[in-house]
Structure 1
Amino acid sequence: MNYVSGFLSIVIALFISSTGAEDVVYGQVGGTVTLPKLKWGSEKVTVQWYFGMDQKSLIFRNAQGRETIDPEWKDRLSLSKTDFSLIINKIRLEDFKSFKCELKDFRPTQMTSVTTFRLSRVSVQPVSPLLAGKNLNLNCDVKEIFEGTQRRWLSPQKQDLNKDKRAQIGNNGGLTVMNVTGQDNGEWTCVVTYQGREAYANTPVTVIDLSPAHTQPIYTSVSSLSLLHLPCFFSIPLPLSWSGSQEKSIQGGRWTFTPSPAAGSLTGAVQTLVNLSPGPPLAWVANQKRGLDVSALQRKNLNLSLSKKGVTEGDRGDYTCAVEFQRDDTLKREMRVEVLQVFTSPGPVAFLGQEVNLTCTLGQPLTSDLEVKWIPPHHSSLLPLDSSPHPTLLTIPEATYGNGGRWRCELWRNKTKLTSVEITLKIERVPMDVWLLVTICAAAVIFVLLLILTVILIRRHRQRVMMPRRGKRRFCNCQDPKPKGFYRN
């Protein structure tokens, strides 16, 4: 019976040893790799890992859990706490060789398992910084490709590029992304899958882009205190390695303004507000004195934002921030500015009983997603309307003292307040001198009308008196016998 038991132990040991065929695991220089865990029936075993053709001992753990690590690998090796997997950190180029694991169990009989792994390199060639709008080309190099090896790519947001319409993946694992933006800046990953295991090769990609474009117009209001802020800055700092220095890479730039037809200017009349001098140092040169503030420009973060205090309806229009680089490359950001204003008719001063119209406008009809809300003076007898959307034209049929005060018009999109503007309405009694002037003017008008009527009546009377004399003819009856009849003398 003991003979049979010993024989079975030898067979099991030989079977386990035969499972130690060489296996391939992919890794990247500088990355981390885990040589797969090894299945074993008992945890009370000795574990020893060897490296290279010379079978150099890397790490040893006895049955009691005590470990010994080669000093040259001390900071880069560790064994998994739950199994016997080998974890290698900060992979070096010289690490892409064979690793052998030897497990021994001395109870009840000696059993040995030997498994060999070959660490194979996968890499992604770094690319130079790109300007937004260019194409990104990456290549995932796998030193050894076996049947069943698959490659795919992940964006910096860890999204699979198979669903990105801009991405094209070649049969050789190459990736082309058309028309990159600032959102493509970050770490791109090539995922290599083999025998159910995944290896990751990362590479950083720098995309030079301006701050994200506004999907909606910038709303402000007419006021001497309103501040119009036009953002334009780089989404990331320019890398010095790109062209040697930040100033040398930028060849110039400008802010331009195209007035809106609602601003009362001709459409398409582009105006250059400021020019960017490449320096060094970078500096704005103002072309027009429009109260522009260009102090946001700083050499460290290259903030090209523009601001203006004291907004008028003439500031409605399209603004463009353009930065020129070498090789005639240009980055642009366009933004539309809408200015809310309110005015009264006939004017900011109205008389008691007079009809007053309050108009709140952007200079053009509001889109369907916008509405205005009127906030009257707190003592006004005219309450704000509860219906939505509110009218841009608010009519007060007969003005009273209670309608006087500060009226505010607010512009809203859904539940978001975009901007507001205020106007002060004065209600006054009609002054006495005005009534006197009105009375005198009315009397004068009546006198003139009576005078004209009198003249007309006199002329008609004269015409009636003179009319018979002008048409009368003289005839006589002669005494001499003549034929009967009347004859002219």
Structure 2
Amino acid sequence: MQLEYFTLGVLTFLMTGATCEETEVFAEAGSQAVLPCTFSPLSRFIPSIIWTKANKGTVWRKGKSGLQFWGSSWSQKGTQRVRCPHSQFENGDFSLQINNVREEDGGVYSCRAEHGDRVSEKVVTLRIIEVSVSSSVPTWGSYASISCNVTPWPHRASVQWTLNNIPFVPQTGTASRRETSKRVVKEKATARLTGNWTCVVGYKGKEGRASAAVTVNGIIEPSNDNTKVYAAVGSAVTLPCVFSSSMIPSGSVWEKLKPGFLIKPAPGRLPASFSASSPSSPLPSDKSASLREVRFEDEGKYRCSGAISGQRLTRQMQLVVAKIGSSITSKGSVTLTCHLTDTSEVTHYEWVHVAYDLNGNRSVGSLQKGKTLSINKVSEENRGDLACRFYGKDGMLGNVTHHIPLMSALSGQKSPGGSHNTAVVVGLGFLLLVLLLILAQMYKNHQRRKRIFQYPAMETIVHSVSNEREERERNHEKK
């Protein structure tokens, strides 16, 4: 590189009346590079212009006749990668445009303008910057190497890395003060490395940048170990375990880890309602599991795993179960308490009343903040669902609902609707009692007649005696 600068400098110095300026240009590989070359017009005639590259000869030139020529390496199948816009010639702008720049395009270029016996020259150093990844899609757990390459490399240039437009900080122990180490980021592939990487190079007041996207193959959901999944008692829940779409794991296994084993957790018994497949997604890369009905004792850590190309990938997650405990005081007030098996991520609680009208429309009204809700005056208005919502720093984590069928029965109070229903019930009961008495009397009469009809001779004797008695009484009255 120093030899190239020296050669151009000597040639420029030997030219009569020659002037020379140097410029730095950065361009990302694959983009368009513009090498500036402007001169103040000395006459109405356009000078002859020649662009050359050190050790590569002519790139482009325009003679006094106006004809243009391209170097053999810059024209392929009739298509030229370099050009100078004619519209700017009269303004003294002879900047060179290079399309789809490559690594080999980096180097020192010279723009020389000849105005009769006066020669003006400008030197431009084109530096091609490119970000490369050791493996375009590294596998989770393997080491990934992300490099920033600049051709030619500027000595004592500053290098900074950003990931998704945020300055990247290497993990402890991976950073080095050597200049060469700043060009390369080498870390274990995790979800932390996924995103758009940008290398920013600063040199002599100029700045160049190049970017590359990095995707880590592995378990993409959940993206980190010990992710918490929240569920209410009695509800269904999905434990996510989704691999990259291009990966089909073999020998997938689900385990519930026993508590108390910090270094190497031992597998325990899975819940009774556990299903090792999720009905929501038939994709072969989705190995999520589900619990049909969560119990409070189902809380704890779960682990899913699958083999990819002989390497077993695992992910741990924690199921946090929520429930509402209730208690009734002697005065009829109700106290509801929101219980979670793990509250490490919970920042605050909120109680809301959920009600439905005759049309099925749902309405939600906030009651109060806090883990515990006390209802002193219980009425028909409190009937419905009371939900405890729990929040973290990034928003709501989950909720659990408590259903209240009829709060007025707990307090001994009677609403107008309840009094009306009671009167109807009493009236119906009285009517039923009268009907039963009538039926009983009818049955009694029927039985009595039935007993008499069993002895017809006796009935005849009784009837004759009765007639004779009546006849004697009439005769006695006539005397």
Q: Give the TM-score, by structure 1 length.
A: 0.57
| 1:121, distance to aligned residue in structure 2 (A) | 6.2
Is 1:294 aligned with 2:278? yes
Letter in 1 for 2:134: V
**Are the aligned partners of 1:377 and 1:403 in contact in 2 as well (CA < 8 Å)?**
no
> Over aligned residue pairs, what C-alpha RMSD do you find?
5.0
Letter in 1 for 2:101: I
- Of 166, 176, 181, the residue aligned with 2:190 is 181
Determine the structure 1 residue equivalent to 2:232. 221
| 1:216, distance to aligned residue in structure 2 (A) | 7.1
Is 1:323 aligned with 2:306? yes
Could you give the per-residue CA deviations for residues 52-81 of structure 1, whole angstroms, max 9, x where no partner exists? Answer: 7574453649999x9887753846334476
Determine the structure 2 residue equivalent to 1:19. 20
Structure 2 gap segments, 5+ residues each: 1-12, 358-364, 414-421, 423-479
Is 1:34 aligned with 2:17? no
Compared CA separation, residues 62 and 390, structure 1 to 2 (3 A): farther
| 1:411, distance to aligned residue in structure 2 (A) | 1.8
Is 1:313 aligned with 2:313? no
Determine the structure 1 residue equivalent to 2:241. 232
Is 1:115 aligned with 2:116? no
| 1:31, distance to aligned residue in structure 2 (A) | 4.8
**Are the aligned partners of 2:353 and 2:367 in contact in 1 as well (CA < 8 Å)?**
no
**Mapped partners of 1:323, 1:334: distance in 2:** 15
- Of 352, 368, 372, the residue aligned with 1:391 is 372
**Mapped partners of 2:354, 2:106: distance in 1:** 78
Is 1:58 aligned with 2:60? yes
Matched length: 369
Compared CA separation, residues 325 and 163, structure 1 to 2 (3 A): closer
Letter in 2 for 1:184: L
Corresponding residue SS for 1:294:
coil
| 1:127, distance to aligned residue in structure 2 (A) | 0.5
Could you give the per-residue CA deviations for residues 286-332 of structure 1, whole angstroms, max 9, x where no partner exists? Answer: x96535652455557x2333334444434433333333445655341
- Of 311, 320, 338, the residue aligned with 1:337 is 320
Corresponding residue SS for 1:362:
strand
**Mapped partners of 2:39, 2:122: distance in 1:** 12
Is 1:137 aligned with 2:145? yes
Corresponding residue SS for 1:330:
strand
Compared CA separation, residues 144 and 130, structure 1 to 2 (3 A): same
Corresponding residue SS for 2:175:
strand
Could you give the per-residue CA deviations for residues 147-180 of structure 1, whole angstroms, max 9, x where no partner exists? Answer: x441514233244446875751452523344444
| 1:271, distance to aligned residue in structure 2 (A) | 3.8
Is 1:412 aligned with 2:417? no
| 1:116, distance to aligned residue in structure 2 (A) | 4.5
**Are the aligned partners of 2:355 and 2:384 in contact in 1 as well (CA < 8 Å)?**
yes
Corresponding residue SS for 1:183:
helix
Compared CA separation, residues 26 and 304, structure 1 to 2 (3 A): same
| 1:202, distance to aligned residue in structure 2 (A) | 5.0
| 1:98, distance to aligned residue in structure 2 (A) | 5.5
**Mapped partners of 2:64, 2:326: distance in 1:** 89
Letter in 1 for 2:159: R
Determine the structure 2 residue equivalent to 1:476. none
- Of 145, 151, 175, the residue aligned with 1:168 is 175
**Mapped partners of 1:425, 1:272: distance in 2:** 36
**Mapped partners of 1:90, 1:196: distance in 2:** 25
| 1:96, distance to aligned residue in structure 2 (A) | 4.8
Could you give the per-residue CA deviations for residues 116-158 of structure 1, whole angstroms, max 9, x where no partner exists? Answer: 5565666666412434454433455556556x44151423324
| 1:421, distance to aligned residue in structure 2 (A) | 0.7
Letter in 2 for 1:321: C
Letter in 1 for 2:216: V
**Are the aligned partners of 2:108 and 2:126 in contact in 1 as well (CA < 8 Å)?**
yes
Corresponding residue SS for 1:41:
coil
Corresponding residue SS for 1:355:
coil
Letter in 1 for 2:389: L
**Mapped partners of 1:292, 1:201: distance in 2:** 44
Is 1:362 aligned with 2:339? yes
**Are the aligned partners of 1:231 and 1:306 in contact in 2 as well (CA < 8 Å)?**
yes
**Are the aligned partners of 2:320 and 2:340 in contact in 1 as well (CA < 8 Å)?**
no
Could you give the per-residue CA deviations for residues 65-107 of structure 1, whole angstroms, max 9, x where no partner exists? Answer: x9887753846334476943323222245545664323245xx
Letter in 1 for 2:95: S
**Mapped partners of 2:289, 2:162: distance in 1:** 33
**Mapped partners of 1:207, 1:374: distance in 2:** 42
Is 1:423 aligned with 2:403? yes
